[in-house]
Structure 1
Amino acid sequence: MTQKKLYILLFISAIGSIGFISLLFAFTNKGPERDMSFKRGFLYDAPKKIHEMDLKYNGYYIAGAYKDKIYLGNPKSPLYLTVVDTALQSKEVIHITMDQDSLPLRSPQVRVVPPYFFLMDGTVPYVLRGKTRDWKGYSILENPLYFNNAQPMDSVTLAIRTMSSKTREFALGTIHLADSATMILSHELLKKQVDGVFDVDGTLQYNKQQHQLVYTYRYRNKYIVANDNLQLQNLGTTIDTISQAQIKVSTIASKNQQKMETPALRVNKYSSTSGNYLFVNSLLLGKAESIDMWDKSSVIDIYNLVKNHYEFSFYVEDIEKNKLKTFQTLSDKFIGLIGNHIVVYQLNKHFKVKEEKKTFITAQNTLNIKNIKNNTRILVNNTAVRAKTENL
């Protein structure tokens, strides 16, 4: 081989190598975010899908689940609930009625916690409560208290996230619907890193068995566990290492509003809690995980809230290229919405959660509620600014 041919061969090899590396780099950038600092554990006997139903509509959300029933809400028809059994063999539609002719249905949500249900819209605002025996709602929010996320704690108390009139940032709190409807906020639970709005976005849940508020941050590896009095009990850490929200925020001067400059790195998409456990749909690929499996499923990481550690993970398969959207756990079952479909996974036996036996508080025995509240919490003025309602 002549020296000239050798140079040509080396040049072609070098160009080919550079092109190959560039191609790999391009595909890597388009793929999922991988965090090499952690490795998930997957059990051999992982939770398995046992039921599936095509709902023929992909706009449902899970309004509640109790015993053998799953309640599905529909934003386009907020006064109707679709009820399916946990075996996904039967389906019925329930019509919610109200004690008034009409309400502005701007952004309503239904929450079903038998024997009660709630129809709520924190942007108007109003809260209707009724019994599941007749599905008639009665207005119980006397004062205009605004919120953009709410979960019933009992029949007269809501866990909420709202924008504080004091800080103009998001805060967690409670609304006590009896006793003239008062809002109590904690400005200590959510920790600001950038702007106190986008960077603290997350999923609010209430664990009825543990009587705890659980808030999972969307853009960092933390979750908050607080008691009914809004006192921090634990600041948990998910298994990844994204401790700082990777977002940039700018201000629209003409509207005096903030916006994200570029799409942020999402860490935790959604979460649910029951019993001793927190279930988190993570969006980060761990060490040695299959990209092929990641592309056709969603991963659920399970944390023990009592022992404060990670347990294991399992996959929820995509359906028709649709990812898991939202989910809830009920006893020993994992219920998920994927595209037009609802699925039920059988959890391992040691994850079975006993049915809630807590007696609901009624309006007649709420006089002592205020006396047990922590004096350090801040009572928000009833003219609190309207909460932001964008889907952050």
Structure 2
Amino acid sequence: MKSNVIIKSIILDTICLLYVLLFVYAAVSKFLDFENFQVQLGQSPLLSAFAEWVSWAVPIIELSIVLLLIIRKWRNFGLIAALFLMSMFTSYIFIILNYSSFVPCSCGGILEKMGWNAHLIFNIVFIVLAVLALALEGKSNNNNSIAKKRLTFFKSSAISILSGGAIMAILFLSSEEIIHHENPFIRRYPQHPIMLTHTTDLKFNSYYFAGYVDNRMYLGNYTDPLHVLSVDTNLRHRQVLKISFDSKNIPFKMVKIVVRKPYVYLMDGRVPAIFMGKTTDWKITKELKGSPYFTLAEPVDSTRILFRSNNGKNLAHVIGVFTSDSVSKIKYNTDLLQQQLDGVFDTDGMLLYGDKLQKMVYLYYYRNEFIVADKYSGLVRRGHTIDTITKAKIKVSYLKNGTERKMTAPPQTVNAHATISGGLLFVHSKIKGRYEDDKLWDQASIIDVYDLQKKTYLLSFPIYGIEDKKLQSFFVTTTHLYALIGNQLVVYELKSILKKEINMLESTAF
């Protein structure tokens, strides 16, 4: 009988010692690499919104449990607390593996040395050990009746396990709501949402993305406007196409080519002039007469063009629609762009049109706002990027009695480039978020992805530079991301986490 008591005591002491070693190691490793631990929590799909206080709370709780376990009269409370915390950790991993939108990197400590599935098993083993220790601890207390000891054991074990799982589920749901709808500027970086597949040297850095039709990318060239470079996804088949066009001595100043199946458009807002033809023969055959002057333009169809011009009050930017039918019409929506300072620099941005959405998106350069409008320039809604720059940080001076204006200091660019694919908005952000590594920002350009239908932020990923060159522009299809970096055209394959979102949004109405 005495030997049984000694064996049970040894087992109980061993389990407590294992927990002490585990929590001391885990807490110390977190404190020694605290910044990295906090960054990893900030990128967790469960705890992103709570990373700041959770990063401090977890190691402090672990060390507190150690103190309870090594003081014999408090050991029972220590075991209950250990079971509770381990139940939370196990629930965390279970939710990550089964319900999370992506599986993040490890969070330091032992988890850094294991895979997620291996660590799930590891945690379950420690839960079993904690339950066993509580049972042995209850039996070592001879002052209670057997029935009362059993009831206390089952209650404490069940409450610890269930409450640990419930709290983690609540944190998960709360964090998801905060990150997607009320983001406190914390980015999520899932593992490998894109994968580099091909790259080619274009020899010149004057190319731009003109369009994508039937699995081929079309690149325009500012220095050679009538030649279009066509490449396939693998960059193996390159073709230079010559646009057939009689310029009729029109004094073009800045010609841009846009390819939208089945049309090719030739546009210059400074003339102004808009011409179009078919991609079947690359011949310009029609002029959309009556075009207004414009600084940006996006074709909608064979007769309608969305544009931005300086026809607003005091030459401010304004969005409009030009329709070239039997009678040309120009309609302005003076309420879309909202002035903060001068109406020109503060409203500068990018004009995008999504064929699948049949919606226009206007994204400001210098503030965290974008506008979604229909193809008639009617406002659908206003949205925000996840950074905190709500007001353009620019300084403007007026010259020649107020007839000219210029920036007197370098502006803080918030959004540098953007594109639409399906119902997703991809934004090249220039603002560093919370818990982000300086080294990453030195080496890469960060792309944030937004779901325009659900009005949510989804995820972020880096596009790494080549040598000393960084991202100049990019274009996203349903399967690939194309990037211009210096003279290089780089192709990335979209992985399932992005393909799934694009395909799902393309199959539903906006």
TM-score, length of structure 1 as denominator length: 0.79
Q: Does the residue aligned with 1:98 lie in a helix, a strand or coil?
A: coil
1:291 to 2:441 alignment: no
What is the distance in 1 between the residues matched to 2:380 and 2:323?
21
Q: Aligned-residue CA RMSD in angstroms?
A: 2.0
> What are the within-5 Å matches in structure 2 for residues 227-376 of structure 1?
227-253=374-400, 256-348=403-495, 349-353=499-503
Question: Per-residue deviation at 1:275?
Answer: 1.1
Q: Does the residue aligned with 1:243 lie in a helix, a strand or coil?
A: coil
What is the distance in 1 between the residues matched to 2:381 and 2:402?
38
What is the distance in 1 between the residues matched to 2:187 and 2:312?
41
1:193 to 2:343 alignment: no
What do residues 58-110 of structure 1 show as CA deviations (whole Å, max 9, x unaligned)? 11000111221111111111111111111111111111111454432310100
What is the distance in 2 between the residues matched to 1:177 and 1:354?
34
Alpha carbons 1:124, 1:146 under 8 Å: kept: yes
Deviates more, 1:237-246 or 1:162-171: 162-171
In structure 2, the CA distance between the partners of 1:245 and 1:166, relative to structure 1 (3 Å rule), is closer
1:81 to 2:228 alignment: yes
> What are the within-5 Å matches in structure 2 for residues 154-233 of structure 1?
154-164=301-311, 166-233=313-380
Alpha carbons 1:247, 1:263 under 8 Å: kept: yes
What is the distance in 1 between the residues matched to 2:376 and 2:239?
38
Q: Which residue of structure 2 lines up, in the alignment, with residue 46 of structure 1? A: 193
Q: Does the residue aligned with 2:440 lie in a helix, a strand or coil?
A: helix
What is the distance in 1 between the residues matched to 2:268 and 2:287?
12
Alpha carbons 2:361, 2:371 under 8 Å: kept: yes
Question: Per-residue deviation at 1:45?
Answer: 3.5
Question: Per-residue deviation at 1:234?
Answer: 1.5
Alpha carbons 1:332, 1:351 under 8 Å: kept: no
Q: Does the residue aligned with 1:311 lie in a helix, a strand or coil?
A: strand
Alpha carbons 1:99, 1:139 under 8 Å: kept: no
What is the distance in 2 between the residues matched to 1:78 and 1:354?
36
In structure 2, the CA distance between the partners of 1:126 and 1:139, relative to structure 1 (3 Å rule), is farther
What is the distance in 2 between the residues matched to 1:248 and 1:112?
37
What is the distance in 2 between the residues matched to 1:236 and 1:293?
27
1:107 to 2:222 alignment: no
What is the distance in 1 between the residues matched to 2:484 and 2:369?
24
Alpha carbons 1:67, 1:355 under 8 Å: kept: no
Judging by fraction of residues, say which structure has more helix: 2
Alpha carbons 2:303, 2:325 under 8 Å: kept: yes
Alpha carbons 2:229, 2:238 under 8 Å: kept: yes
- Structure with bigger gyration radius: 2
Alpha carbons 1:208, 1:356 under 8 Å: kept: no
What is the distance in 1 between the residues matched to 2:436 and 2:315?
41
Q: Does the residue aligned with 2:265 lie in a helix, a strand or coil?
A: strand
In structure 2, the CA distance between the partners of 1:102 and 1:253, relative to structure 1 (3 Å rule), is closer
Alpha carbons 2:422, 2:505 under 8 Å: kept: no
Aligned residue type for 1:350: K
Deviates more, 1:159-168 or 1:211-220: 159-168
Deviates more, 1:125-134 or 1:343-352: 343-352
What is the distance in 1 between the residues matched to 2:457 and 2:506?
24
What do residues 237-272 of structure 1 show as CA deviations (whole Å, max 9, x unaligned)? 111100000111111116820011101111000111
Deviates more, 1:74-83 or 1:229-238: 229-238
What do residues 115-166 of structure 1 show as CA deviations (whole Å, max 9, x unaligned)? 1000000100111100011111134232251101011111211111111155
Q: Does the residue aligned with 1:286 lie in a helix, a strand or coil?
A: coil
Q: Does the residue aligned with 1:350 lie in a helix, a strand or coil?
A: helix
1:149 to 2:299 alignment: no
Aligned residue type for 1:141: L
Aligned residue type for 1:286: G
Q: What count of residue pairs does the alignment treat as equivalent?
A: 322
Aligned residue type for 1:150: A
Alpha carbons 1:145, 1:183 under 8 Å: kept: yes
What is the distance in 2 between the residues matched to 1:84 and 1:356?
24
Question: Per-residue deviation at 1:315?
Answer: 0.6
What is the distance in 1 between the residues matched to 2:259 and 2:265?
6
Alpha carbons 2:312, 2:318 under 8 Å: kept: no
Q: Does the residue aligned with 1:78 lie in a helix, a strand or coil?
A: coil
Aligned residue type for 1:183: I
Q: Does the residue aligned with 1:302 lie in a helix, a strand or coil?
A: strand
Alpha carbons 2:358, 2:374 under 8 Å: kept: yes
What is the distance in 1 between the residues matched to 2:313 and 2:341?
17
Alpha carbons 2:368, 2:384 under 8 Å: kept: yes
Q: Does the residue aligned with 1:154 lie in a helix, a strand or coil?
A: coil
| Aligned-pair identity (%) | 38
Q: Does the residue aligned with 2:315 lie in a helix, a strand or coil?
A: coil
Q: Which runs of 5+ in 1 are unaligned?
A: 1-35, 358-392
Judging by fraction of residues, say which structure has more strand: 1
Q: Does the residue aligned with 1:316 lie in a helix, a strand or coil?
A: strand
Q: Does the residue aligned with 2:300 lie in a helix, a strand or coil?
A: strand
Q: Which residue of structure 2 lines up, in the alignment, with residue 93 of structure 1? A: 240
